[in-house]
């Protein structure tokens, strides 16, 4: 037997709810993945590179051709110039990139600010690095950051702050003012920042995504993480990238090379080809997913749920307080079994869950599935 380094960690809620959905034959609006396929040209590019023999190790930092296209996209969409050689690292999924960033900069006793509801991979990485997560809850219901509370939480041990926008699981986004507050605090306390931006292109209602890379002082102290799986509807390809200044990139790569070493070669080449042929594809995603959000929310008008339309991501929170006061985890499992629709309880992302009653539903589904799901929810 061994002494567990993560004694309080079990199988993730995403795995458990998807397994329960499969077991019950339920509509799976729990785990965040599309039930429709990626663009045909991207799939064809993948097949082409596999069949052309591009199946051996890529360079540790990623295929340069892809890193060059990432740099071009960052300039095109964010107005940010990045050196593909020294500032961009291709990783086998943003989760691995986040883990490597935490391991690169956190040591024993260091404190890391995280915001609840907090994506479930953050704290285990902090714990494995020997650090301590300091949980600050977002304001209930609005899910805004209380920056005074953040400032009050600073200690001499505070080393890193982790932000996630658009936010999973609640769908909130950080404003320009939020980013300026983050920038000021990071400068004042000499903090590093991990900015999880995997849903960067999924923002709605004429909002704009604000990347840490667009704020000069943050740019010099941030690891920014992105996901091709989310952008191109290929979550199973597990490929993303990290952008950081050269000194931080060098430290991230030291860890990355001993965690997974490289991302998958034909995936990298296929994504690079697609970025060349479809440079504006990502800019279409906001409208595409906003229509799905609106379809799902509109179909729930006659339900007993209350909701505020999601500002970003492909997740929608539904407030079930008019229906039940049962704990969200209990209700999510019960409704999967009894009503055939799986969701994610958000209390599991809190250190101390507040008194609120939300379930998270993924609307990255076909219109038929969304309407069927809404019909079942309206019957509850």
Paired sense of beta strands 344-345 and 192-196, if any: unpaired
**pLDDT band per the 50, 70, 90 thresholds, residue 59:** very high
- Assess whether 87 and 114 both reside in one domain: yes
- Assess whether 106 and 147 both reside in one domain: yes
pLDDT over 90 at 10, yes or no: no
Last residue of a domain, one of 278, 307, 335: 278
Q: Quote the pLDDT of residue 329.
A: 95
Q: How far apart are CA 114 and CA 131, in angstroms?
A: 12
8 A C-beta contact, residue 202 and residue 282: no
Is 2 inside any structural domain? no
List the end-to-end C-alpha distance of the chain, in Å, as a whole number.
46
State pLDDT tens for residues 124-151: 999 999 999 999 999 999 999 999 999 9
Q: How far apart are CA 254 and CA 248, in angstroms?
A: 10
Q: How far apart are CA 283 and CA 258, in angstroms?
A: 35
Out of 211-220, 308-317, 348-357, least confident range: 348-357
pLDDT over 90 at 212, yes or no: yes
Q: How far apart are CA 161 and CA 194, in angstroms?
A: 6
- Assess whether 19 and 116 both reside in one domain: no
- Assess whether 30 and 44 both reside in one domain: no
Neighbouring CB atoms inside 10 A of 235's CB total: 18
- Assess whether 33 and 75 both reside in one domain: no
Last residue of a domain, one of 278, 295, 326: 278
Q: How far apart are CA 79 and CA 45, in angstroms?
A: 28
Q: What is the mean pLDDT of residues 350-372?
A: 96
Q: Which long-range contacts (CB under 8 A, 24 or more apart) does 136-142 make?
A: 137/350, 137/352, 137/354, 138/167, 138/170, 138/172, 140/354, 140/355, 140/356, 141/356, 142/172
**pLDDT band per the 50, 70, 90 thresholds, residue 2:** confident
Q: Quote the pLDDT of residue 66.
A: 98
Q: Quote the pLDDT of residue 34.
A: 96
- Assess whether 272 and 330 both reside in one domain: no
From residue 175, alpha-carbon distances to 80, 200, 207, 215 in Å are 18, 13, 9, 12
Strand order in the sheet with 88-91: 88-91, 240-243, 222-227, 192-196, 158-164, 111-116, 132-137
State pLDDT tens for residues 279-306: 999 999 999 999 999 999 999 999 999 9
CATH number at residue 320: 3.90.1150.10
Strand order in the sheet with 358-362: 315-319, 358-362, 344-345
State pLDDT tens for residues 162-192: 999 999 999 999 999 999 999 999 999 999 9
Is 7 inside any structural domain? no
- Assess whether 270 and 343 both reside in one domain: no
- Assess whether 189 and 120 both reside in one domain: yes
Please report where in the chains the tokens 């900015």 appear, as a residue: 195
Q: What is the mean pLDDT of residues 332-356?
A: 95
Q: How far apart are CA 96 and CA 264, in angstroms?
A: 13
Is 6 inside any structural domain? no
Q: Provide the number of structural domains found in the chain.
A: 2
DSSP string covering 208-238: ----GGGSHHHHTTEEEEEEHHHHHT-GGG-
Q: How many CA atoms lie within 13 A of 49 on its CB side?
A: 20
State pLDDT tens for residues 214-239: 999 999 999 999 999 999 999 999 99
- Assess whether 291 and 248 both reside in one domain: no
State pLDDT tens for residues 13-46: 999 999 999 999 999 999 999 999 999 999 999 9
- Assess whether 166 and 298 both reside in one domain: no
Q: What angle do CA 134, 188, 75 make, to 5 degrees?
A: 90
Statement: the pTM of the whole predicted model exceeds 0.75: yes
Is 159 inside any structural domain? yes
Q: Quote the pLDDT of residue 285.
A: 98
Q: How far apart are CA 334 and CA 328, in angstroms?
A: 10
Is 3 inside any structural domain? no
Is 104 inside any structural domain? yes
Q: Any alpha helices (H) in the chain, and if so which ranges? A: 13-24, 40-51, 64-78, 94-105, 122-128, 147-152, 176-189, 216-219, 228-232, 246-259, 265-277, 285-298, 328-339, 367-378
State pLDDT tens for residues 78-136: 999 999 999 999 999 999 999 999 999 999 999 999 999 999 999 999 999 999 999 99
- Assess whether 103 and 246 both reside in one domain: yes
8 A C-beta contact, residue 83 and residue 131: no
Q: Quote the pLDDT of residue 56.
A: 97
**Cis peptide bond N-terminal to 85, omega within 30:** no
Is 4 inside any structural domain? no
CATH number at residue 176: 3.40.640.10
Is 8 inside any structural domain? no
pLDDT over 90 at 65, yes or no: yes
- To the nearest whole number, what is the mean pLDDT of the chain? 97
Q: What range defines the domain where residue 262 resides?
A: 40-278
**pLDDT band per the 50, 70, 90 thresholds, residue 58:** very high
Q: Quote the pLDDT of residue 1.
A: 79
- Assess whether 301 and 312 both reside in one domain: yes
Q: Which residues is 134 bridged to in the sheet?
A: 113
Last residue of a domain, one of 278, 296, 322: 278
pLDDT over 90 at 266, yes or no: yes
Q: Which residues is 344 bridged to in the sheet?
A: 360
């Amino acid at each position: 037997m061994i002494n567990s380094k993560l004694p309080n960690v079990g199988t993730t809620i995403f795995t458990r709810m998807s397994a329960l959905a499969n077991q019950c034959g339920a509509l799976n609006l729990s785990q965040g993945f599309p039930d429709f396929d990626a663009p045909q040209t991207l799939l064809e590019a993948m097949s082409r590179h596999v069949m052309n023999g591009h199946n051996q190790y890529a360079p540790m930092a990623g295929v340069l051709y892809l890193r060059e296209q990432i740099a071009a996209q960052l300039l095109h969409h964010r107005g940010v110039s990045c050196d593909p050689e020294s500032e961009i690292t291709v990783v086998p999924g943003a989760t691995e990139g986040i883990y490597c960033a935490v391991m690169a900069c956190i040591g024993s006793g260091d404190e890391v600010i995280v915001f609840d509801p907090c994506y479930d991979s953050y704290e285990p990485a902090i714990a494995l690095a020997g650090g301590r997560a300091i949980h600050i809850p977002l304001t209930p219901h609005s899910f805004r950051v209380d920056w005074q509370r953040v400032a009050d939480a600073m200690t001499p041990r505070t080393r890193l702050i982790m932000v996630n926008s658009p936010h999973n699981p609640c769908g909130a986004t950080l404003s320009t003012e939020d980013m300026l507050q983050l920038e000021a605090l990071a400068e004042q306390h000499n903090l590093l920042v991990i900015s999880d931006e995997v849903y960067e292109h999924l923002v709605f209602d004429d909002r704009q995504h604000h990347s840490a890379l667009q704020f000069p002082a943050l740019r010099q102290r941030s690891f920014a993480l992105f996901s091709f799986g989310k952008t191109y509807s290929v979550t199973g390809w597990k490929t993303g990238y990290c952008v950081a200044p050269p000194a931080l990139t060098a430290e991230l790569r030291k860890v990355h090379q001993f965690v997974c070493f490289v991302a998958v070669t034909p995936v990298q080449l296929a994504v690079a080809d697609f970025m060349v042929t479809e440079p504006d594809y990502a800019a279409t995603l906001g409208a595409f997913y906003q229509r799905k959000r609106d379809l799902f929310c509109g179909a729930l008008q006659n339900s007993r749920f209350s909701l505020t339309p999601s500002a970003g991501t492909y997740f929608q929170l539904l407030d079930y307080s008019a229906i039940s006061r049962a704990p969200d985890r209990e209700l999510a499992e019960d409704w999967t079994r009894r009503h055939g629709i799986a969701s994610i309880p958000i209390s599991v992302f809190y250190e101390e869950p507040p008194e609120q009653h939300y379930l998270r539903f993924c609307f990255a589904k076909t219109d038929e599935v969304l309407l069927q799901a809404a019909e079942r929810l309206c019957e509850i």
